[in-house]
Amino acid sequence: QKSDKFTPAAIDKDGSPVGNMTSLVQIDGAGNVYATYDTGESRLIYQIPLVDLPNRNDLTSYNNQTYAPSKDSGRFFLWNAGDGPTGQILPNALEESTTDVAAELTKMIQTQRSYSSNAKVIQTANEILQETTNIIR
């Protein structure tokens, strides 16, 4: 191999300028994650997969409402949003509460009344015992 001087003939710019990712990240209904750069350009950086399991009821539960597959839940399958049995991603949507407030308040009132009734039964039984003790004396 022979050595020779290296001198580039010509350098031309043919791409985008260097940019830094801003804090703005967008997700669309297909699960595509787009990063926005300070140059104004937006690029696809990831696609969120959705998971399907043969037996969803046997997931291992961890804290903060996180779950992991277990050997009883079966092997997981990854799907793109909108394909297969997993459904879609709703970007910019807030999940509604899954608690029925009226039903929970009704249960709370029933429990409170039960507690009050039981307290009254204990109070009455205590009064009967006191009267019985007073009669014996």
Segments of the chain assigned E as strands: 21-27, 32-37, 42-47, 50-52, 60-62, 66-68, 77-79
Q: What integer pLDDT is reported at residue 1 of this predicted model?
A: 59
Q: Would you say 131 and 137 are in contact if contact means Cβ atoms under 8 Å apart?
A: no
Q: Would you say 32 and 88 are in contact if contact means Cβ atoms under 8 Å apart?
A: no
Q: Which amino acid is at 20?
A: N
The SS3 call for residue 136 is helix
Q: Decide which of 8 and 111 is more confident.
A: 111
Residue 114 has pLDDT above 90, yes or no: yes
pTM: 0.52
Closest CA to 36 of 27, 128, 84: 27
Least confident of 15-29, 62-76, 122-136: 15-29
pLDDT category of residue 100 using cuts at 50, 70 and 90:
confident
Average pLDDT, the chain: 87
The 8-class DSSP code of residue 71 comes to: T
| Tokens read off for 114 | 């039960």
Q: Would you say 73 and 56 are in contact if contact means Cβ atoms under 8 Å apart?
A: yes
Q: What integer pLDDT is reported at residue 23 of this predicted model?
A: 80
pLDDT of 28-66, one tens digit each?
A: 988 999 999 998 889 999 999 999 999 989 999 998 788
